[in-house]
């Protein structure tokens, strides 16, 4: 039971302000802090905190952020011996603004993540024989994502792609390599080419994406829950209502919970329910990696809410 995450590692530079600024506007905000983040690293932390053996493959840069990020990942028990120190550039950073309504916007400067390529895929290939699941996102160059998915397919490892940040230009050859694709509404719209804002449009998008070769599509619909479409069934994933304080890394929490569930041999529906619970818990705390729950926190949360509500209730 082990998961490899091949992806980005960022330091998040987080400002909080009453509201998000208009273009050209200067606002006085509440606070500033640096918080470990990056979609790849967040997903690795989400998996590791659920007690699953986890390895992260990616790059940090030539600065203090890189060392701090690495130390944090290792303290979560993540194997980082295949994380490369890239002397040619800085570590990835994300400028994140969060307002009093918990809305956010994010600008990512990839730094070392932008140099992930064939050499990193070689390090991945060497690690794949020990893995059950490979988790990918889109904060590293697309050719590296494609090569990593192909390597995992060749090794018989389950491939989950979180198509974030959203883009519409995934190569046709990527789709058949993906076992599970997990777009949110924005990403589903970009990929499918039409608005996705409810269960019906999510279902149509999932069908389009399955026709391109993806085996299973899980469309995350925020407060409406999520819809899972496989070759043989379509089902809605339960919602765990919580009071959201910060949604940064909620998608990462979902993907980490899903990968951890599959690595622990849970059936897809149970792994997806676990994913929804991990994502719900993550929005109750601020920040990316600090918001990701441990196995004990997840179990306590699930015990409190024995019967989650479904969108149809």
When binding is defined by CB under 6 A, the residue of 248, 262, 268, 280 that contacts ligand RIB is 248
The residue from 86, 252, 265, 313 that is catalytic is: 252
Selected range binding ligand RIB among 205-213, 245-253, 256-264, 295-303, rule: CB under 6 A: 245-253
CB of 105 to ligand RIB, least distance (A): 11
Listed residue (306, 245, 248) closest to 277, CA to CA: 306
Does 252 participate in catalysis according to the annotation?
Answer: yes
To the nearest whole angstrom, how small is the minimum distance from the Cβ of residue 163 to ligand RIB? 12
Query: Which residue number has the CB closest to ligand RIB?
Result: 37
> Which strands form 92-99's sheet, in the order they lie side by side?
31-37, 10-17, 92-99, 104-109
d(CA 161, CA 119): 20
Which of residues 70, 83, 217, 249 is near ligand RIB by CB under 6 A? 249
The H-assigned helical ranges of the chain are: 39-49, 64-75, 118-127, 142-155, 185-192, 199-211, 250-263, 268-282, 295-304
The residue within the footprint of ligand RIB, chosen from 80, 94, 138, 202 (CB under 6 A), is 94
* Nearer Cβ to ligand RIB (108/178): 108
User: What is the smallest separation between the CB atom of 94 and ligand RIB, expressed in angstroms?
Assistant: 3
Sole binder of ligand RIB in the list 7, 13, 39, 134 (CB under 6 A): 39
Q: List the one residue from 139, 179, 187, 246 that touches ligand RIB (CB under 6 A).
A: 139
Q: Verify binding: residue 12, ligand RIB, rule CB under 6 A.
A: yes
Instruction: Quote the least distance from Cβ 167 to ligand RIB, whole Å.
Output: 14
Tokens of 248: 């940064």
Kindly state whether residue 59 participates in binding ligand RIB, applying the rule CB under 6 A: no
Taking the C-alpha atoms of residue 213 and residue 166, their distance in angstroms, rounded to an integer, is: 19
Q: Which of residues 189 and 199 has its CB atom nearest to ligand RIB in the complex?
A: 189
Instruction: Candidates 33-41, 224-232, 238-246, 291-299: pick the segment binding ligand RIB (CB under 6 A).
Output: 33-41
CA end-to-end span of the chain: 35
Question: Nearest distance from residue 185's CB to ligand RIB, in Å?
Answer: 15
Rounded (to 5) percent helix, strand, coil in the chain: 40, 25, 35
H or E, element range at 31: strand 31-37
Scanning residues 283 to 302, which ones bind ligand RIB (CB under 6 A)? 288
Rounded Cα gap, residues 230 and 93, in angstroms: 36
What is the number of alpha carbons within 13 Å of residue 105 lying toward its C-beta?
Answer: 7
* Contact assessment for residue 205 and residue 234, using Cβ atoms and an 8 Å cutoff: no
Stretch that binds ligand RIB, among 193-201, 202-210, 249-257, 271-279 (CB under 6 A): 249-257
Cβ atoms within 10 Å, residue 244: 16
Least distance from ligand RIB to the Cβ atom of residue 15, Å: 13
CB 301 within 8 A of CB 277: yes
Interface with ligand RIB (CB under 6 A):
10, 12, 37-39, 42, 94, 106, 108, 139, 248-249, 251-252, 288
Q: Which residues are catalytic?
A: 252
């Amino acid at each position: 039971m082990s998961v490899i995450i091949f992806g980005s590692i960022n330091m998040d530079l987080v400002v909080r302000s009453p509201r998000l600024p208009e273009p050209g506007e200067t606002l006085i905000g509440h606070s500033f802090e640096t918080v470990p983040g990056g979609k790849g690293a967040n997903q690795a932390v989400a998996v590791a905190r659920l007690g699953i053996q986890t390895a992260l493959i990616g790059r940090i840069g030539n600065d203090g952020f890189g060392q701090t990020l690495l130390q944090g990942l290792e303290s979560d028990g993540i194997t980082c011996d295949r994380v490369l120190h890239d002397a040619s550039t800085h570590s990835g950073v994300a400028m994140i603004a969060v307002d009093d309504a918990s809305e956010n916007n994010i600008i990512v400067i990839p730094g070392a993540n932008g140099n992930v390529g064939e050499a990193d895929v070689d390090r991945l290939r060497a690690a794949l024989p020990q893995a059950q699941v490979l988790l990918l996102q889109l904060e590293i160059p697309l050719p590296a994502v494609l090569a990593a998915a192909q390597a995992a397919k060749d090794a018989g490892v389950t491939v989950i792609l979180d198509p974030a940040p959203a883009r519409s230009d995934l190569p046709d050859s990527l789709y058949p390599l993906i076992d599970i694709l997990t777009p949110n509404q924005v990403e589903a719209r970009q990929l499918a080419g039409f608005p996705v804002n409810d269960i019906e449009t999510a279902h149509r998008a999932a069908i389009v994406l399955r026709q391109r070769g993806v085996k299973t599509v899980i469309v995350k619909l925020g407060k409406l829950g999520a819809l899972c479409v496989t070759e043989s069934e379509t089902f809605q994933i339960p919602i765990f209502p919580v009071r959201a304080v910060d949604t940064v890394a909620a998608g990462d929490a979902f993907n980490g919970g899903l990968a951890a569930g599959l690595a622990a041999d849970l059936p897809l529906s149970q792994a997806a329910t676990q994913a929804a619970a991990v994502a719900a818990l993550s929005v109750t705390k601020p920040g990316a990696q600090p918001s990701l729950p441990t196995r004990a926190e997840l179990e306590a949360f699930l015990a409190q809410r024995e019967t989650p509500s479904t969108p149809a209730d």
